[in-house]
Structures are given as C-alpha cells and as structure tokens.
Structure 1
Amino acid sequence: MKVYVTGSLAFDRIMTFPGKFSDHILPDKIHILNVCFVVNGLDEKFGGTAGNIAYSMALMGEKPVILSQVGKDFALYDEWLQKHGLPVEGIRTIDHEHTAGAYITTDMSDNQITGFNPGAMCHSCAYDMSNIDNNSLAIISPGNVEDMVGHPEYYREKGIRFIFDPGQQITTLGGERLGKALDGAFMLITNDYELQMVMNDTGLSREQLLDKVGMLVTTLGEKGCQIVTKEGEVAIPAAKAAEVVDPTGAGDAFRAGLLKGLCLEKDIETACRMGAVSAAYSVEKRGTQEHGYTWDEFCKRYEENYGPLG
C-alpha cells in the first residue's frame, strides 16, 4: 500500500541561552524591548511534520511519498531523506525561498523564545495528484494551508482513504475551511487540546464530528490515546519509554506507527498501540529524527508492552 504524507519539511535550529530571560528583560521597559541573548552554539535538526512522519515510517520499512515544499537550502535534508530510502519526487523546490525553519532559544528555566519562518511553506507543493491511485492511504498534517484544503478534496472525490491531522494549523485554517477539509476523513487525529480547538472553531460537537469523519483518535501524552467511534470508546495505554528526554515529535512518531499498522491491515486498536511504541522511541532522544531501531526491535518492544504483534 502506497502512503502519501502531506505536511511540512523544516529545519529546527536550537540554541541554549546560559541564563534566564527574566534577568535581562526590564518589565518597566517592555514597550521599548531591545534585547540580545548570546547563546551557546546552535544545533540544526531535521524536522517538519511530513519529514518526521516519513522518517519513523522508514525505520519500519515503509517508503511514504512526502508531499511538501522546500527552499534553496534543502541539500543536506535531501541527502538525509534519500539515505533512508525515502522518495523525494513529491517535494517541490522554491528557488527563491528558504526551507521553513524554527529558531528556538531555551534558557536555563526551560523558557523558550521561538521564531518561525515559513519560507517555502507559503507555496503549494503543486503535486500531480492524478498519480495517486485508489489503493493508497494518505495523511494530511500541518503544512501549507492550500494543500491541507486541496488534498482532502481530491481524496474525497476519488474515494481515497485519508487521515486529517490539522495540529498547529487549526487557527490558520479557521472554522469554515477546517470543517470542509476534515469532511469525509477516515480519521481525525489530534491531541486533546487540539480536539477542543477543532470543536470551538467549527462549532461542531464530538458527535457532530463523527457524522463527518470515521473516527476520532486523540493522543493524551503519557496517558496514551483514545479511539472514539459511533460504536463507543477505546482507551489505549502509552508504551513505556526508558527515559523521557524530549517529547517534541512524539505525535508525529505516533502517526507513523499508526500508519504502519494500517499498511499491515491491523485493526485500529493494534495500529494505535504501534503508534504508542513508535512515540516511545522518539521521546528517548532529543530531536524529532534522532531515534533509531530495527523492525525486530520494534516488534520486541511492542510485545513487552502489549503482547505479540499478531
């Protein structure tokens, strides 16, 4: 089964300030704020929702097609994706833009100041959707808004099963476009806060959302996730992590494991357990594409948490 992942590709540029922001911000001068923080170097990590999902899927032997857009500085990320056997034909290069980038500075109290440059993400990926056949599976994750609205429209028209994952773009989409984009999705996946945002922005209750989508999968951090259909609710406990180092990217890793389960034609409960195992690997490393494992190791950890992966 071919999988298509719509979403962002981005560089995460992470800096650490060896002090506290609060020691250098004068409350009575906040109206003329002018502050420079000298940081201890910079770590550049590969990220973005589509990149993160595709990376974890590659660890499980899948080669999803990424539908995204990048800029003139993409060469190193391109090498990284191809090193992991990921196809790049769905990625559009915008020569006059930079690849999307998050610039994150963290102080000694774990406060963060982040600047995000969407860069190439402002442009549609312009992929020829007619290349996608009816036997495919797709996920629409946060990225270019035009793609997040247009790709579901194509999938609905062609009867292609898709998952809608609006995440950080909920507020940008707005209620009307959000309600239209998720209509007909096989699954709406969010965390619990995002689900409430979806309901607030669309004006739809949970029951009304289930009139539009096949099911709701809501991730709950260390509490696992919840599957809701018109038939009822199922709780899936989280898989145990050896150590929680960095929760950033855990949601994308969860989606990768879930997609792998669907590719193997597992039931939704098993697929979500696979998502939980994938997320556990992710939180054990700092960065969203720093973890690694073999398929045998994945299956062993699944068995340790949930029993045999039948």
Structure 2
Amino acid sequence: MKFLAFFGHLNIDVSISVQSLPAPGQATGVKQLKEKFAGTAGNFTYVAHSLGLDFDLYSIVGNLSHKRYIQNLEETGINTEHVEIAENESGPVCYIPSDGKEQVAYMFQGPVNNWKASKNFEFGNYNYVNIGTGPVNEYIKIVSIEKRERIVFDPAQEIWYNYNSETAEYMVNHCNMIIMNRKEYAHLLELLNISSNVLASKVSNIVITEGKKGATVIQHEVETNVPGILSNNVIDTVGAGDSFRAGLYTGLWKGYNLVDAVRIGNITASKAIENNINEFNLKFDDILKILNSIKG
C-alpha cells in the first residue's frame, strides 16, 4: 500500500507587475511578466519530493500550456503517472496582476472543469487521500467509495466558491481529517451552521493553519496550539500552506504523531518561503535537525 494520494491543481501562475491596477475602462503598462510552476498540488509536490515522501500526484493539465511544466516535474524525478494530459487544451493558468500593494487574480481552470478524477484513481491503495482543489462532484464519488479513515478534506480557497452547505457537509461526514487556514475554517463552520466544538465531535482530526502564528490541532476534541517558526529571509510566501502539508504528511509517514507532524509542517513552510518553492532542496533530515533543536 502507498502512503498518500494528493489531488489538486498544477497551475501556471502568470505574475503581471504593473504601476497601478487600472479602473474599469482604463489601461496600464506592464513592468514585468513572470511565469511560475505552481498550484496547490504543484507547490506541494516539489517540496514533498525533496523530503522523500511516498505519494502519488493526481491532477490534469492541457498539453498546449503545460509541456514545460510536465517536463520540469519529470526532470526533477517526480512521478507524473497519474497526471492526465488533455489534448488540444490549455490550463489551468492563474493570471495575477499586482501593483506591489494590491493584487487581483483571474483563474482559468481549463481541463480541470471536466476532469474525471475518480476514473483512474487507485481505490484502496493509500493510507491517506488528500482531497484538495478540483472537481467537487468527482471528489464526492471518491469519498463515497474510499474508507473514511483515509480521507483528508483540504479544499483550500475553493471552499469559498466550489462548495455549498450540502457538498461541504457530505465531505465532512466522509472524512477523518480537515486541513484549512483559519478563514477557510470559519467559512466552513458558516456553511455547516455549526460550532467548532460540534465539528470536532464529527471529525477526529482538524488542522487549522494560522500563518506566522503556526497552527492549531484539534484532535478528538482536544485543542493544541503549535507555534510557528520564524524564517530567516522571506522571498515568497505563496505556497507556504502547500509546503506545510508536504512537511506534515512526511512527518506522519515517518511515524510521528499529528502534533509533531504539524511542527514538522511549520518548519518546512518556514524554510520553503526562503526561496522559490519549486527550487526547494532540503531533505527530511535537515528538517529533523531543526525539530530536535526546538524540542531540546
């Protein structure tokens, strides 16, 4: 049995640097245009691979836009067996204009909208199945068949616009772990119209990321705060949460309990944002040295 199946996006992020964000009907010049291999699954994958985690990546991309992305993953040594290639399609691509103070984002889903994610999934072959960003109806098919104790509900920003009260409740009733940031978690509670205590009575393991503050673990209704780790020199915080997940799952894979795995996730995220995430090159032993120094 394999350890983890990770579902999510392999975005190409196109950062568009402008002097100022134009009002409707106006135009502005572009100072710099930069492409980055990213997305929830992409950010996770680069870090998890470097840490040595046993996982399979599940995603879909268009061949017109993602040839270099797939080539880069394969040259890095990442298994793309479960990444579907949609012929004559582009995406997913996220366009992000920014003036350095504010930014907007335009997300083109491309083939993700029609991805039959359940079709080629290896049911019963993983200890954990991380249900990330992607097609909700397909994910519901997966969790309706897969064992509940293996399912992790991790919708990221899509909890705001891809889930409603019915689909969110279905996922909660079929998962054993939830991973969200604090705002996403608050929105989930609003969708379900329940308190955190009630949700904790339904789901055995809840991990709430808190940015620089670290994370909160609610396990069997007992809450534990896990402090964050300061970075030496922050280059780019985009993908910090995905890096956190890579560290957390690697910790669980190595036999650590959930709280210590979250500590490992915090450390991993703090180191990942010190450089471009797709250039992350630390090994698990490097993270472990920092963990041991923290725990004394």
TM-score in same-fold range (> 0.5): yes
CA distance in 1, matches of 2:132, 2:281: 22
1:225-236 equivalent positions in 2, closer than 5 A: 225-236=215-226
Matching residue within 97, 100, 106 for 1:115: 106
Alignment of 1:220 with 2:210, yes or no, is yes
- Cα distance in 1, alignment partners of residues 294 and 76 from structure 2: 27
Aligned to 2:75: 83
Per-residue displacement from partner, 1:268-290 (whole Å, max 9, x unpaired)? 111001100111112212x4423
- Is the aligned partner of 1:293 residue 2:286? no
Note the residue ranges of structure 1 that are not aligned, 5 or more in a row. Answer: 26-32
Aligned to 1:163: 152
Residue 241 of structure 2 is matched in structure 1 by 251
Q: 1:148 to 1:37 in 2, by over 3 A?
A: farther
User: Counterpart of 1:46?
Assistant: 37
Q: Which runs of 5+ in 2 are unaligned?
A: none
Match of 1:103 among 95, 98, 107: 95
Contact 1:52–1:289 at 8 Å: present in 2 too? yes
**Which position in structure 2 is the counterpart of 1:270?**
260
Root-mean-square deviation (CA), in Å? 1.9
Q: Partners of 1:117 and 1:296 in 2: how far apart? A: 38
1:9-34 CA distances to partner (integer Å, 9 max, x unpaired)?
Answer: 110111211x233xx54xxxxxxx22
Q: Residues 146-200 of structure 1: CA distance to partner in whole angstroms, max 9, x if unpaired?
A: 33322222223xx551211121111321110011012232211111111110010
Taking structure 1 as the reference length, what is the TM-score of the superposition?
0.88
Corresponding pairs, count = 293
Cα 1:128/1:116, change in 2 over 3 Å: closer
| Distance change in 2, residues 1:119/1:178 (3 Å) | same
**Could you say what secondary structure the match of 1:131 adopts?**
coil
Q: CA–CA distance in 2 between the matches of 1:199 and 1:11? A: 31
The answer to whether the 8 A contact 1:62-1:260 is kept is yes
Taking the TM superposition and a 5 Å limit, the aligned residue runs for 1:58-73 are 58-72=49-63, 73=65
In structure 1, what is the Cα distance between the partners aligned to 2:47 and 2:287? 11
| Residue deviations 1:228-274 (CA, integer Å, cap 9, x gap) | 13341111111221122322111111111111111112111110011
Corresponding residue for residue 30 of structure 1: none
Q: Does 1:131 align with 2:136?
A: no
- Give the 3 Å change call, closer, same or farther, for CA 38–304 of structure 1 in structure 2: farther
The structure that has the greater radius of gyration is 1
Partner of 1:28: none
TM-score, normalized by length of structure 2? 0.91
Identical counterparts, % of pairs = 27
Residue pair 2:197, 2:221 contacting (<8 A) in 1 also: no
Partner of 1:29: none
